[in-house]
């Protein structure tokens, strides 16, 4: 029988790419999503790519009763990948309770059900935001967690603590937290990708929307950082590469290859790219000229962060493969496809 994996947030950006990769290696996928930041037709698109329509249940995992009813309906789950969460840093500052309730209660409900219904394996979406501005770069997994600069970031830190404590108390549970750097790009089919609601906060969707004419101009937030060209540096990781790491993490748990019951890994390329480098790479690889201007720094932004990926490379046997150029081309192809 195929192993069954619950993917929460499976119609979202990283979730949908991960569903496709799970199906490609033979997992039976069940998606739970409340569609608060995604659309139902993502299921059609997943089916177009993989030839398999994943099972889908629409409800809010904040609801404990509905969550329990779901686990009753699907008694053969082997593992869970938990993506479902809010992720807009600025919005979290305005609506902290909405963020704490959504991002923490869903996790607690899932953990409760994992113990009641004997589903031992969980992969959790964490973030490099837990490191703040690290003292040493590239940042390793043992770098200290720094006080979060936003409620969103805090939900990721608290979630990791909830996981650690719950796993300590329930040694039958096992978790891998994956700390993403900056996921960008889209599936090579251009059928799934990032679909920001309203004005994008993140750099790459803002770039592609500007290039296609939806936005007038990209603002570069700061050129006075202590970096080679003065703009801030991040580690941009291709979303398909990222999705593949989830498949490896799930197998590691199910095959009991994990060394501890709570493990965490950096998922990045190991290479920092500045905002100007991203713009230059986009213009060169797509042939599109980008209208941009430098403005002041954005509150809460760190100067530079990029991953030390050795632990993920060695332990998971995973490595990011796609270049920044080809990833930006995939984001551009997706954007063009969306606006056709």
Q: Which active-site residues does the annotation give?
A: 152
Q: Is 206 in the site for ligand UD1 (CB under 6 A)?
A: yes
CB 157 within 8 A of CB 301: no
Q: Is 215 in the site for ligand UD1 (CB under 6 A)?
A: no
Count of residues interacting with ligand UD1 (CB under 6 A): 21
Position among 111, 123, 218, 247 found at the interface with ligand UD1 (CB under 6 A)? 218
Q: Is 234 in the site for ligand UD1 (CB under 6 A)?
A: yes
CB 137 within 8 A of CB 306: yes
Render 91-154 in DSSP notation, one character per residue.
Answer: HHHH-HHHHHIIIIIHHHHHHHHHHHTT--EEEEEEEGGGG-S-SSSSBPTTSPP---SSHHHH
Single out the segment in contact with ligand UD1 by CB under 6 A; choices: 75-83, 134-142, 201-209, 256-264.
201-209
Pairing assessment for the beta strands 273-274 and 182-184 based on DSSP bridges: unpaired
Q: Is 290 in the site for ligand UD1 (CB under 6 A)?
A: no
Position among 12, 138, 153, 270 found at the interface with ligand UD1 (CB under 6 A)? 153
Q: Is 272 in the site for ligand UD1 (CB under 6 A)?
A: no
Residue carrying structure tokens 């589903």: 119
Specify whether the backbone of 26 is left (phi greater than 0), alpha (psi in -120 to 50) or beta.
left
Q: Is 221 in the site for ligand UD1 (CB under 6 A)?
A: yes
Q: Is 84 in the site for ligand UD1 (CB under 6 A)?
A: no
Three-state DSSP at 29 gives strand
Q: Which helix (H) or strand (E) holds 56?
A: strand 55-57
Rounded Cα distance between 256 and 239, Å, is 26
Rounded Cα distance between 62 and 190, Å, is 32
- Nearer to ligand UD1 by C-beta: 49 or 163? 163
Position among 49, 173, 203, 331 found at the interface with ligand UD1 (CB under 6 A)? 203
Minimum separation from the CB atom of position 194 to ligand UD1 (A): 10
- Nearer to ligand UD1 by C-beta: 78 or 330? 330
Q: Which residues bind ligand UD1 (CB under 6 A)?
A: 87, 89, 127, 129, 150, 153, 182, 201-203, 206, 218-221, 232, 234, 275, 298, 301-302
């Amino acid at each position: 029988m195929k192993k069954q994996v619950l993917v929460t947030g499976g119609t979202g950006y990283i979730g949908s790419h991960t569903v496709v990769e799970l199906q490609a290696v033979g997992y039976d996928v069940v998606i739970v999503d409340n569609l608060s930041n995604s659309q139902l037709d993502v299921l059609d698109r997943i089916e177009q790519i993989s030839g398999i329509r994943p099972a889908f249940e629409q409800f809010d995992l904040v609801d404990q009763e509905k969550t329990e009813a779901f686990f009753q309906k699907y008694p053969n789950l082997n593992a869970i990948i938990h993506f479902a969460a809010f992720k807009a840093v600025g919005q979290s500052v305005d609506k902290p309770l909405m963020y704490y309730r959504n991002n923490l209660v869903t996790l607690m409900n899932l953990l409760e059900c994992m113990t009641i219904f004997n589903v031992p394996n969980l992969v959790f979406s964490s973030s490099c935001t837990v490191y703040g501005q690290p003292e040493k770069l590239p940042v390793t997994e043992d770098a200290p967690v720094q006080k979060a600069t936003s409620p969103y970031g805090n939900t990721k830190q608290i979630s990791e603590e909830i996981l650690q404590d719950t796993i300590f108390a329930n040694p039958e549970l096992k978790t891998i937290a994956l700390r993403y750097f900056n996921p960008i790009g889209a599936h090579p089919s251009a059928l799934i990708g990032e679909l920001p609601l309203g004005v994008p906060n993140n750099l790459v969707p803002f770039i592609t929307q500007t290039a296609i004419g939806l936005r007038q101009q990209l603002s570069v937030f700061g050129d006075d950082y202590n970096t080679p060209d003065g703009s801030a540096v991040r580690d941009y990781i291709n979303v398909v590469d990222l999705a593949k790491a989830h498949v490896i993490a799930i197998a590691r748990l199910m095959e009991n290859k994990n060394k501890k019951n709570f493990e965490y890994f950096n998922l990045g390329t190991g290479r920092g790219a500045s905002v100007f480098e991203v713009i230059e790479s986009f213009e060169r690889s797509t042939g599109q000229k980008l209208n941009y201007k430098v403005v002041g720094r954005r509150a809460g932004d760190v100067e530079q962060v990029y991953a030390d990926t050795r632990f993920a490379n060695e332990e998971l046997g995973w490595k990011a493969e796609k270049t920044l150029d080809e990833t930006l081309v995939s984001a551009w192809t997706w954007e063009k496809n969306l606006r056709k």
